Amino acid sequence: MVRTLAEVAPAPRPVAAPRRKPVRVGIVADFVEERWPSMDLAAELTEMGIDRYGGGAFDPEILRPAMPRIRGRFGPAEASASNVDRYLGRYVAYPRWLRRRARDFRIFHVIDHSYAHLVDHLPNKPVVVTCHDLDAFRSLVGPEREARPWWFRATMKRVMAGLGHAAHVICDTGAVRDQLVELGLADPQRLTVVPLPVHPDFAPDPDSAADAEAARLLGPADGSAIDLLHVGINVPRKRLEFLLRIFAALRERHPALRLVRVGGRLSAEQRELCGELGIPLDRVAELPFISRPVLAAVYRRAAAMLATSKREGFGWPVVEAMACGTPVVASDLRVFREVGGEAVTYVPVRDLQAWVETVDRLILDRGDRRQWAGRREAALERADAFSLESYARGVLAVYRQVLGMREG
C-alpha cells in the first residue's frame, strides 16, 4: 500500500501563541514631600493590587519625582516644603518630568484628583484619575462657602479641566460620583465607583511586636484607661474642637477616659480649648507618625473610634477600625453610611448631646460580652467588603475598558 507524504511525515508541533508583553501602568503619585499619607497609601495599594490580581497582564510602577526645593537653597535643607515649593513642583516640575516618562507607559493612573492637571500633559495617552472628594474644587463650585484668591481659583480651574479630560474617573463612593454628575464635572459614562481597600496590616489578630510598641506609646492595655480614638489630619472638616467637647462631657461620666489622637498635634487654639473645657493635656495622647501595624494595634486597644467629620469622600479610618474589630461612631453622612453600612453607629453631625449619649451607651455596653462580640463581628464582616482583591479587580476592569481589552 502506498502512503501519502502527509501520512509519512510527523504531525507538525502546535505553535505557541506569542506571549504578550504586559501593559505598563504609570501610577502617578503625590510628591512624598506633600506628606499626604492617605494618598501615598492609595498609590501603594494600587500597585500591590495590580501586581497580585492582574494575572501578569499589567506591569505597574509608582511614579513621583523629587520635589524641587526653593526653600532648601536659602534655608535648612530639612525644612518642610513651602507653598512655593508645592506650586512650582506640582505645576512646573512634575509636568515636565512626567512628559519625559510618557513613552514608557501605555496607560497612566493619577491617584489624587488634585493632580488632575497632569492629564493635559499626557495628550496622547489614556489617563485614569481617582477622585476622592470635591474639596479641591470648593472655591469654584461653592465660592460662598470657601473664599480663595483669584490665583488659587485659576489653578483649580486647570485641575478641574484635567479631571474633565480624563479617559475615565474612578470614585471612592457613589456619593462622590453623584456630586460630580450633579455639578456637571464629568460625563456619567466615564465614572465608575471602586471603593478603596483596607490594607492587610489592619486585622483583628494580635501582633506581638506592634502591640508591644503600642503599649510603649500608650502604656499597658490593662483596662485602667478607656481609650477613645480619632485618626485623621488636623483640618477644619475633621472638627477636632467638636471632638474635644464630646470628650469633655464624657469625662464627667467616665473619669478614666482618654482621647488618643493619630494624625497631627493639636493646635495652640485647641490646647487652649482643652483648658477651657477642663481637659488635662495628659488625658489627650498625641501619637507621632506610627507604622500601619502599630496603628492597627492602637485600633485594637480602643473602646471606639470616633469619626466626627462634617464632610468626607470616603473615610479610611472607619474601614481600618472595622477591619480591626473596633466599634465606630460616625457623623451621619451619606459617605459614612455607604462605607460603614449597619456595622457603624451614626449620630447627627451637629448634635453634641446625641454624640455624648451615644458614645456613653457604647462605653457601658463593653460590660456585656455578648453584645460587644456582636459589634465586633458586624465590623469585621463589613470590612471584608473592602478587600484588596475587590479593589484591584475594579481598577483593572476600568483599565481594560479604557484600553479596549478583553477580560482575562
Q: Answer whether residue 9 is part of any domain.
A: no
Pick the closest to residue 307 from 231, 204, 227 (CA basis): 231
Residue 340 and residue 218 share a domain: yes
Same-domain pairing of 399 and 304: no
Do residues 324 and 296 make contact, with C-beta atoms less than 8 angstroms apart? yes
Residue 2 clears pLDDT 50, i.e. is over it: no
Q: Which domain holds residue 185?
A: 23-197+388-403
Residue 77 has pLDDT above 60, yes or no: no
277/354 same-domain check: yes
Q: What is the pTM of this model?
A: 0.88
Tell me the average pLDDT across 362-380: 88
CATH of the domain at 360: 3.40.50.2000
Q: Are residues 39 and 133 in the same domain?
A: yes
Alpha helices, H only, 26-103: 37-53, 70-74, 83-88, 94-101
Q: How would you list the strands of the sheet with 58-63, edge to edge?
A: 58-63, 23-28, 107-110, 127-131, 168-171, 191-193
The CB density around residue 368, as the number of other CB atoms within 10 Å, is 11
Mean pLDDT, range 195-207, rounded to an integer: 95
Q: How far apart, in Å, are the Cα atoms of 156 and each of 17, 82, 117, 183, 361?
A: 48, 19, 9, 15, 44
pLDDT of residue 323: 97
Q: What is the pLDDT of residues 34-50, one digit of tens each?
A: 888 899 999 999 999 99
Q: How many domains does the chain have?
A: 2
| pLDDT given at position 1 | 45
